[in-house]
Chain A
Amino acid sequence: MGRMDGKVVLITGAARGQGRSHALRLAGEGADIIAIDACTDVASAPYALATEDDLAETVKQVENLDRRIVARRADVRDHAGLKAAVDEGVSELGHLDVVCANAGILSFGPAWELTDEQWQDMIDINLTGVWHTLKATIPTLIEQGTGGSIIITSSVAGLKGFGYVGAYSAAKHGVVGLMRTLVNEVSVFNIRVNCVNPTTVDTDMIQNEAAYGYFQVDNREDFGAVFQTFHTMPISWIEKRDVSNAVLYLASDDSRYVTGLTLYVDAGFLNKVG
């Protein structure tokens, strides 16, 4: 008896990183998965993004858990393409219960020196892309009449001002606001909307040369030493599974009345003083 038996979960950014981790954690508890990823680089994101091979690997690992999975390439900036992918997945798996709006990018720069492209790509993917994901799924949830759970991947940068990630911070704050408005619109349908707000997670998004360079280090250990100073707990970053465990709580009926929550998984980041 899994905590997600009979449920269908849609996950954007599912090719690798946190998205793949959520797919596996939820599938491990009985869910079937609709996995969406753009599988393409974004010029202003200074690191390689996920590929079609990555998405295929997510498919393989979910199928190894004896769950069904529908995987489609779609870019959250393209509402029509995203909607088509969502509808195909729902059509094949029969219904939709949970939406993990997880797709996102990261780039760095002082706020006043960001290029138009850096700013626009960040807002288009990390904020508008989340809105597109909700546009593409909420009508189905409402029509089904069986409620639902929407989990938006925000960040500690959605609650506090992290230096040199101004566009990222704006977008991650923005989705918190979007969540709060949605609570006032969809609660009547028993659809819950929450954010998960992780601190740094040990994934390709941060473990790359560009990120190291920005913090004036050139290796993982020194990078880790920098990030450990942000947490009250003696760690540099959390693991993907720590975010997935929070997502599982929010996706399951264990949290049936939890809505409007910013669930931060942050090793004390938001509360650290000094």
Chain B
Amino acid sequence: MNENATATALVIDDDEEIRKLLCFILKQERYRTLESDSGRQGLTDIATRRPDVVVLDLGLPDIDGMEVLHQLRQWSQVPVLILSVRDGAEDKVEALDSGADDYVTKPFDATELLARLRAIQRRAPYAAEDACFEAGHLTMDFSSHIVKIRGREVKLTATEYALLKTLVQNAGKIVTHKQLLQKVWGPNAVNQAQYLRVYMMHLRKKIELSDEPEKLLRTESGFGYRFMIPPKSAGAA
């Protein structure tokens, strides 16, 4: 976890116990930690102390976390992970479409939270245009547009390829339905959820192996998809 040695994480949560425990967990992973107990304090801290990543609660005493996010996004692109008890799909969609980078519900699993934090800290797209991407049994060559599963080439349609590329470039991060539709089909297609489902279904049939228990493409029910990086190849690409 060397990349975290100098990373600073800011925890914005009004619950002192959660704040202390989160900081403890983050310090175990060699993050430097900062704490804010309110939305306004959090905004000030982001502006003045410039953290590398922010963990933001939604139910804050002074201004709602969603409002903090809106204000923040007007002047900062710091990666933000929402950590909230609100588990409705509409809350998640709103937060992610308002610029949050990921959403974890409380009670949370520390290992998962840390993995997601690492993913959103990676600012640049996962693979550059000329690179070759490898994860588990999947190899994707961006220059020749060739996708291989266990060494055997699979034919993808142009749309399936574009979908897979978008997800792979954001490997480990959540990509919302809206973002995918916008990226692959263009701004006029954001309400055409059925396109996305059908193409994802076809893409899955082509690239996922039935004997592999951990699938490459994870559905985040009701709001998006995530390309899962298999643990053993996480640092390889």
Q: Does A pair with B?
A: no
Residues of chain B whose beta carbon lies under 8 Å from any beta carbon of chain A: none
